[in-house]
Chain A
Amino acid sequence: DTAVSQTPKYLVTQMGNDKSIKCEQNLGHDTMYWYKQDSKKFLKIMFSYNNKELIINETVPNRFSPKSPDKAHLNLHINSLELGDSAVYFCASSQDSGTAGNQPQHFGDGTRLSIL
């Protein structure tokens, strides 16, 4: 029973194309995230949504647009793909409201994006 699922797992496409990555979590969490992991394994936060509202938007090119149709979904749309966009993109979720304070994030298994 997958907690955070991303599709597709692999995405190979040409420069200049537009693509989307979908993410769904069935944990009932109120916060979702997108991370980018480069070839050196460095993980960098891109966006954070809490209860469908954008909370964090790092210095990410505006070719990247997240969309949260509901609390369980956070999709990532990328326009005009560039070679430097090649990376692994991870979706994550956590439960951050309530008296328990910050909780650990649960990650999907990633989407490997390769730009030709």
Chain B
Amino acid sequence: GESVGLHLPTLSVQEGDNSIINCAYSNSASDYFIWYKQESGKGPQFIIDIRSNMDKRQGQRVTVLLNKTVKHLSLQIAATQPGDSAVYFCAERWSFDMRFGAGTRLTVKP
């Protein structure tokens, strides 16, 4: 899902399926992008990052894609597990400033 309006977008997937969470960022001067996962009652937890000189970066079961032309970021989670259920935020940085997207709630059905 993509962050629009004031409601938290939700994405519901079946366990074992792949998940794609999308994010539109705002500042063309942003040079560093981060995905965070936030579980209930916890602070945001770093998942993966990407710098503006790259368009793809892979981690363990996660891949981030960056399209600077349309200011779009996506997070792909392979073989989604129940423990992946959380709110996911993208964030963009320039200098010391960091701005978060509105977040997407991912629910994994067993």
Q: Interface majority SS on B: helix, strand, loop or mixed?
A: strand
Contact A42–B96 (Cβ < 8 Å) = no
Within 8 A of B (CB), among A45-102: 45, 48, 50, 55-56, 90, 92, 96, 101-102
Interface residues of B in 18-60 (CB under 8 A from A): 31-32, 34, 36, 38, 41-46, 49, 51
Taking the nearest CB of chain A, how far is it from the CB of B15, in angstroms?
Answer: 24
Interface residues on A, range: 20 to 34
Would you give the shortest CB distance from B69 to chain A, in whole angstroms? 22
Most interface-central of A31, A96, A102, A110 (chain B CB within 10 A): A102
Chain B interface residue count, CB cutoff 8 Å, equals: 26
A42, B90: Cα distance in complex, Å: 11
Q: Report whether A43 and B41 are in contact in the complex, using a CB–CB cutoff of 8 Å.
A: no
* A56 CB contacts on chain B under 8 angstroms: 96-97
Q: Is the CB of B49 within 8 A of A42?
A: no
Main secondary structure of the interface of A (DSSP, over half): strand
How far does the alpha carbon of A114 sit from the alpha carbon of B8 in the complex, in Å?
22
Of all chain B residues, the one with the shortest Cβ separation from A58 is: B97
**Number of A-B residue pairs having CB atoms within 8 Å of each other in the complex:** 57
* Complexed CA–CA distance, A44 and B96 (Å): 14
Name which residue of chain B comes closest to A112, CB basis: B41
Task: Contact check, B89 vs A48: say whether CB atoms are below 8 A apart.
Answer: no
Q: Footprint of A on B, CB under 8 Å? A: 6-8, 31-32, 34, 36, 38, 41-46, 49, 51, 87, 89, 93, 96-100, 102-103
25 A-B residue contacts at CB 8 Å?
A40-B7, A40-B102, A41-B103, A42-B102, A42-B103, A43-B89, A43-B100, A45-B98, A45-B99, A48-B96, A56-B96, A56-B97, A90-B43, A90-B44, A101-B51, A102-B31, A102-B32, A104-B46, A105-B46, A107-B43, A107-B44, A107-B45, A109-B43, A110-B41, A110-B42
